[in-house]
Structure 1
Amino acid sequence: MGSNTALPPAPSHFPARPQFQGFQKPGGVEADVSNLEVYGHIPADIDGTFYRVMPDPQFPPFIENDPWFNGDGSISAFRLTQGRASYRQRYVRTEKFVREREARRALLGKYRNKFTDAVEFKIRTTANTNVVHFNGKLLALKEDAPPYAMDPETLETIGLETFKGQLPSLTFTAHPKFDPDTGEMICFGYEARGDGTPDVCYYRVAPDGTFLETVWLVSPVAAMIHDFAVTENWVVFPLIPQVCDLERMRRGGEHWEWSPETPFYIGILPRVGGRPEDVRWFRHPNCFPGHSSNAYEDEAGRIVFDLGLSEKNVFFWWPDKDGNAPSPETLHSQLTRITIDPRSEDLELTAAKNVKVLEGSNSEFYRVDDRFAMRKYRHSFFDMMDPSLGTNFPAIAPVLGGGYPLYNSLAHFDIETGETEVYFPGPTHMVQEPVFIPRKGSGEEGDGYLLALVNNYASMGSELHLLDTKDFTKVVAKILLPVRLRAGLHGNWVDAADVRK
């Protein structure tokens, strides 16, 4: 479509689809609020900013059943200091955003299918999946393109970030990992030579932005690699069995299609000094790998990899070739440990030998104390769905909106004791991904605060809930926003001392 001169008609309103209605109705807001209402108290030792990103389309799509996360990247910055909270919201000025604002209409077509666009883009990303702080800049990330750099204070878009021309890949992960000791950023791009290519490009970046090494790999199948994991000596690439086919895209089809015949592949590569031929692809029976909690090496040198695992296709809006997809209410992701001997000649992973469910609740969006990333750890924090807690589904169902996963509580899992603590925000609330804030002056793992954006369906407004990990089930502060923020994807806490590092 991009080569056609005639554009499809521009819709004048958002489609009557769940992903554009209720709490999910696009907001289009850019804002500055200097003083947010606080109920309770924000501890004086908290001084930093919670950055998060949400997809929020500025114009109605001309693809009516557009998935909710195909919207423009919109960055929130929640500044907490001296017991007060302020808020700033800005769109990432991507090529797509700027050109659509000039045209006053949507120009991008289907999710990650350039053949359905109304015009041709050089960089068609929405930069809407994650936002991280690195080398003095914010990086707005989506795994189909390089990052967009932004000013951490003003949220003004600086431009496409290619690290002064060093970026070798056409793509960049939405989940870079940061070594807490060295400040090194470990990254990769999949479909690194373009749509439908099986190429994976792995790279390490020094804290000053210098690329330290690049390794080009070829995966067994052109599949999604949303998250990954890093240990002291290894990099772990979990392939989601959502596969890409360029010919399907040319016909106007979806970028991704669930493949029940494809194993869950896990690629293992030496973190430093690896060569293309060093990657080993372990195989696990077909399932859906979600987000990583953490990974490390045990005393025997085995990789211990903790992640969310579901037997069914979590991205149900991309069914298999026959149109089969699970009903959303049947999905159940569990925090699962996979143990791999990276030097083993046996590449087959089995439930009996390699897999153990750590926490059986329906959970996702795992976060850890980042000071213990890539190391043996004890504490994992995450979103959880437990209908027995008392959520008033009949009351909130008409305004939920749709297309995104629902979680009604925050959980803290102690891996050593096996105990799970739960914070339930209320019968008309759902939670988004949390971030962990270390307590000032404490080096104890997991000692600090958990902060999460919460949807209040009674008020149709957004709130920040702050918890103290020493008394996890009670809220320390509720911070009310004067706007409704759609479901987001990922975000990170940045201490004030690190903003300009």
Structure 2
Amino acid sequence: MPTHRVQRTTFPKAEQFQGFMKPCRFEGEIRDLEVEGTIPDRIDGTFFRVMPDPQYIPFIENDPWFNGDGSISAFQVRGGRVNFKQRYVQTEKVVRERQANKALLGKYRNKYTDAVEFKVRSTANTNVLYFNGKLLACKEDSPPYMLDPSTLDTIGLCDFDGQLPSMTFTAHPKIDPVSGELVGFGYEAKGDGTPDVCYYSITPDGKFTETVWLVAPVVGMIHDFAVTENWVVFPIIPQTCDIERMKQGGERWQWDPNLPVYFGVLPRRGAQGSDVKWFRSPNAFPGHVYNAYEEAGNVHVDISISDKNVFFWWPDAEGNSPDPREIAAFLFRFTIDPTATDLDLPPAELLLQENNEFPRIDDRWSMKKHHHGFFNLMDMTAGTNWPAIMPVVGGGFPPYNSLGHLDLRTNKLDKYFPGPTHFAQEPAFVPRSETAEEGDGYLLALVNNYATMLSELHIVDTRNFTKPQAVVYLPVRLRPGLHGNWVDAKDMESAGP
């Protein structure tokens, strides 16, 4: 008999729907936002970011916070002024649920729990980047959705004019700053539960030049990856997929504390699937990649690592999951010799033992040796007013009360603390000029203000990192997002209409 679902009239009482995490469900445009301080003329472009924001009340009781619909923010900065626009990506899910006036999608990436059958289940809610004149709204379970960068209108699902060979497309593609190529991949590339990974490289005008199929040792999550001049590296998170579990209404992902972290290393050009090597490191949670580069024949991968299951809402087979208050990630450097026959990696080098994630670099140094890293940071000495904010924080979003800037040459760590009732989201870096030294520029980050229950855009000068260059005030609250990117106006204008 079909399962009877009662449509709710309020969001569940789960903490991921409460406080600042309460869905916003806002679309609109606000011109000339309030600005305190001075925005330099050099900051001329648009900061795009995406947040998971359910447009309808889910019928899943404990729906994870990042199962929400992709809602794109655009902060256009020019001449010291900021205009703001917010639009939902018009995915198949969004369109069909609006027609039905209710939620139709079931559990996170489990089609067997849906109210109807979808052709593409994507929520397009994980990353948004600019490529070949369009915005790509990405979630790693499908092809990206293509949007107009000026209007945020959804153009449609992007298969790169029929060239995309994979059923999936990473939420973390990399742009080569020299060639302009987009380097990407899809895991579970032949469908749910398949171990197949498809790697590809795309020219700046959208032509596929490399397509390599390989098979992973486990069907696990590959959220981010690393690219150097000659190599690509795929870290597998020990969250594994089981189709039979999904068919029984279970969760897509289950933590496996007995699995190593696999690092698949593949030549970037001219490779075959058999050329991949799956190196191993002790069980951990590999998070987001800072950058990777080559030196003396080795590949160095700088990445955030936690010794606990960061996605604690997907426990292990016995139901064990860590206390989220005890989860922390630190910056490590893995050194991999691609020619090695011993597939057990040497211990990684700890670069920063302070809780940090959502890393960014000066993108001009992507895929080559970098010296500067920027990231979200949890600084327990900073003076956060925990009694005031904890009742309204909500659940799911990892708390980071500061931004960090690490100089890897000197190990000097600069911290920006936005305030005692503030948490920071993922930053984006804007160089001071096209010829500025690495790391010399400005950091932009959306900030949650739990005193006002509104959002702010903070701009920080890397030369004076302890105070804001400018704070931009929004008259609305934006739910915490995942990822985003800065796009210079000259790059969008050069692409034409």
2:258 maps to what in 1?
261
* Selected match of 2:457 from 464, 469, 489: 464
**1:400-411 maps to which residues of 2 (within 5 A)?**
400-411=393-404
Q: Deviations 1:231-260 (Å, cap 9, x if unpaired)?
A: 000000000000000000000000000001
Contact 1:96 1:108 in 2 (8 A): yes
Q: Does 1:340 align with 2:336?
A: yes
1:313 maps to what in 2?
309
Q: What amino acid sits opposite 1:387 in the alignment? A: M
* Selected match of 2:195 from 195, 198, 222: 198
Q: Deviations 1:421-476 (Å, cap 9, x if unpaired)?
A: 00001110000000000112433101110000000000000000000111111100
State the Cα distance separating 1:68 from its structure 2 match.
0.3
Instruction: Indicate the SS of the match to 2:482.
Output: coil
2:94 maps to what in 1?
97
Instruction: Indicate the SS of the match to 2:469.
Output: strand
Q: Distance in 1 between matches of 2:492 and 2:17?
A: 35
Contact 1:296 1:304 in 2 (8 A): yes
2:411 maps to what in 1?
418
Instruction: Indicate the SS of the match to 1:389.
Output: coil
Q: Deviations 1:168-188 (Å, cap 9, x if unpaired)?
A: 000000000000000000000
State the Cα distance separating 1:7 from its structure 2 match.
5.9
Q: Distance in 1 between matches of 2:20 and 2:328?
A: 23
* Selected match of 2:448 from 439, 442, 455: 455
Q: Distance in 1 between matches of 2:101 and 2:255?
A: 35
1:399 maps to what in 2?
392
Contact 1:201 1:217 in 2 (8 A): yes
1:242 maps to what in 2?
239
Check 1:162–1:121 CA distance in 2 against 1; reply closer, same or farther (3 A cut): same
Q: Distance in 1 between matches of 2:51 and 2:181?
A: 26
Instruction: Indicate the SS of the match to 1:458.
Output: coil
2:148 maps to what in 1?
151
Q: Which moved more, 1:440-449 or 1:205-214?
A: 440-449
Instruction: Indicate the SS of the match to 1:149.
Output: strand
Q: Deviations 1:145-180 (Å, cap 9, x if unpaired)?
A: 000000000000000000000000000000000000
Q: Distance in 1 between matches of 2:491 and 2:41?
A: 18
Q: Does 1:67 align with 2:71?
A: no
Aligned CA-pair RMSD: 0.9
1:139 maps to what in 2?
136
Q: Does 1:296 align with 2:293?
A: yes
State the Cα distance separating 1:64 from its structure 2 match.
1.1
Instruction: Indicate the SS of the match to 2:73.
Output: strand
Give 4+ residue runs of structure 1 displaced > 6 Å after superposition.
none
Q: Distance in 2 between matches of 1:97 and 1:444?
A: 43
Could you state the TM-score of these two structures normalised by the residue count of structure 1? 0.98
Q: Distance in 2 between matches of 1:340 and 1:367?
A: 22
2:318 maps to what in 1?
322
Instruction: Indicate the SS of the match to 1:498.
Output: helix
In structure 2, stretches of 5+ residues that fail to align are none
Contact 2:335 2:346 in 1 (8 A): no
2:179 maps to what in 1?
182
Contact 1:46 1:440 in 2 (8 A): no
Q: Distance in 2 between matches of 1:441 and 1:374?
A: 18
* Selected match of 2:214 from 217, 233, 248: 217
Q: Distance in 2 between matches of 1:95 and 1:340?
A: 41
For this pair of structures, how many residues does the alignment match?
Answer: 494
2:481 maps to what in 1?
488
Check 1:207–1:7 CA distance in 2 against 1; reply closer, same or farther (3 A cut): farther
Q: Does 1:381 align with 2:374?
A: yes
Q: Does 1:22 align with 2:19?
A: yes
* Selected match of 2:435 from 442, 453, 465: 442
State the Cα distance separating 1:13 from its structure 2 match.
1.0
Report percent identity of matched pairs. Answer: 64
Instruction: Indicate the SS of the match to 2:224.
Output: coil
Q: Distance in 1 between matches of 2:191 and 2:248?
A: 17
2:354 maps to what in 1?
361
1:9 maps to what in 2?
6
State the Cα distance separating 1:196 from its structure 2 match.
0.8
Contact 1:74 1:91 in 2 (8 A): yes
Q: Does 1:499 align with 2:492?
A: yes
Contact 1:285 1:350 in 2 (8 A): no
Q: Deviations 1:206-254 (Å, cap 9, x if unpaired)?
A: 0000010100000000000000000000000000000000000000000
Q: What amino acid sits opposite 1:14 in the alignment? A: F
